[in-house]
Each structure stands twice: as C-alpha cells, then as structure tokens.
C-alpha cells in the first residue's frame, strides 16, 4: 500500500478496547465497520436457537474481520465476540471503500482473504457431514497445533488455553463426549494437561485418529 494511503488508513482507524465475551456483532446484525485484531482473540461462530454454537474460527493478532459489509448491506450470517479482553482497530465501511477505490489491489487482497476463509469453512462442513466426533476433535487439534503449537521437550504445547467446552464448540459435539475422548487420549499417552495448557505428546498418533476416515 502506498505510504500516503497507509497514513490515511491509520488516521481513519479507531482503537477499541473490549472486555471478554463482548460481541463485535451478533447474528443478523447489519454492520458498517471492518475490524483488525491487535491483541486478544475473537471467535466467529454460528449460533442455534437452542443456545448452542458452531465455532468457525478463533481470530488472533493480525486477523481482519467484517469485510462482508463492504459488498453486502444485509445482516451477518455469523456472530463474532471476544474470547478474552481484546484490542481492535475499527475502520468504517465508507473509509475502506474509499481506500479500495484509490488502490484497487485492496479489492484483490480482500477477495483472496475471502476465498481462504470460505475454503476453511468448506473443510469444516466436510468434517461435520462425513467424519465422526473423534476425528473432528483430532482435526481441530491438528489445526491448532499449526497455528499455536510450541515445540517443547516431550511434545508440542498449545500456546493458549482452551477448555474442553471450547473443543466441544470447535468440533460441534457435547462437552461430555469430548471429555470422554480426551480422557481416552490421556490414558493412551497421546495428550497431557500441563498447567492448564494442552500438551500433545504424539502428533503422529493424533493424525492416525483421522486417517481411517479419509
């Protein structure tokens, strides 16, 4: 992005400090801003009328959210809320469209970002349609290893804390069934709870939890 335009983006951005469990937007809400995650984490999800959630993605530092408002005035089909206290850049739809008109490459980058997001959603839907819960939990855990895995003695530790309720939402299953899967994996030495952080001792074994279903 040209320097003068980058300066304009900085000038147009507001910084918002949000506590944990604060909605950036809810299901069906019309939005008029794009958000950049500066610190913390924002979860996007599809809620049900019964109060359950299908977690789509946990958006960490460097992620941008809300781009659909640039091309669609309708209500959002997912919700987004902070998992922890978070700091966000907020840029208005009007400003973003002005920047894109002056620098059309922004449109291409937004399209690329949207395609990547859509691909990830299709992968999740494939898992929901064809994979049992055990394989879905393993798949989500392997993705988290790629995103947040830290190699230490004895395995790979996730750099952020996730509860088994979080995994239940990410894999779309009940907390009780996910707890049972984790207990079985702990007994077999595949994973270990280390100071509330999950330690994966055998990534290859975790991959084999999915392979029989491919």
The pLDDT of 138-167, averaged and rounded, is 85
User: What is the number of H-type helices and E-type strands within the chain?
Assistant: 7, 12
Closest among 34, 208, 5 to 99, alpha carbons compared = 5
Please give the model's pTM, rounded to 2 decimal places.
0.72
- What domains lie within the chain, and their CATH numbers? 3-128 (2.60.120.10), 132-213 (1.10.10.10)
Res 167: pLDDT = 82
The pLDDT of 136-150, averaged and rounded, is 86
pLDDT at 142 over 60: yes
Res 6: pLDDT = 92
Res 212: pLDDT = 59
pLDDT at 115 over 80: yes
Q: What is the pLDDT of residues 33-87, one digit of tens each?
A: 999 999 999 999 888 776 677 788 888 899 999 988 988 878 888 899 999 999 9
Q: b/e for 41-68, b at 16 or more Cβ within 10 A?
A: bbbbbeeeeeeebbbbbbbbeebebbbb
Let me know: does 66 contact 110? Beta carbons within 8 Å.
no
Q: Please name the helix (run of DSSP H) or strand (run of DSSP E) that holds residue 134, with its range, or none.
A: helix 133-148
């Amino acid at each position: 992005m040209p320097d003068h335009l980058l300066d304009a983006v900085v000038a147009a951005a507001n910084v918002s400090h949000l506590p944990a469990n604060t909605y950036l937007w809810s299901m069906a809400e019309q939005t008029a801003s794009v958000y950049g995650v500066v610190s913390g984490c924002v979860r996007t999800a599809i809620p049900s009328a019964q109060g359950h959630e299908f977690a789509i993605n946990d958006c960490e530092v460097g992620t941008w959210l809300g781009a659909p408002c640039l091309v669609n005035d309708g209500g959002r089909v997912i919700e987004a809320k902070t998992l922890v206290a978070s700091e966000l850049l907020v840029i208005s739809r009007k400003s973003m469209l002005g920047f894109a008109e002056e620098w059309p490459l922004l449109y291409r980058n937004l399209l690329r970002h949207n395609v990547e997001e859509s691909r990830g959603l299709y992968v999740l839907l494939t898992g929901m349609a064809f994979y049992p819960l055990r394989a879905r939990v393993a798949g989500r855990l392997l993705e988290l290893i790629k995103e947040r895995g830290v190699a230490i003695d004895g395995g790979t530790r996730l750099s952020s804390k996730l509860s088994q309720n979080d995994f239940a939402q990410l894999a779309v299953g009940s907390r009780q069934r996910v707890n049972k899967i984790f207990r079985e994996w702990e007994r077999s030495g595949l994973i270990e709870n280390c100071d509330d952080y999950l330690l994966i001792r055998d990534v290859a074994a975790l991959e084999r939890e999915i392979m029989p279903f491919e």
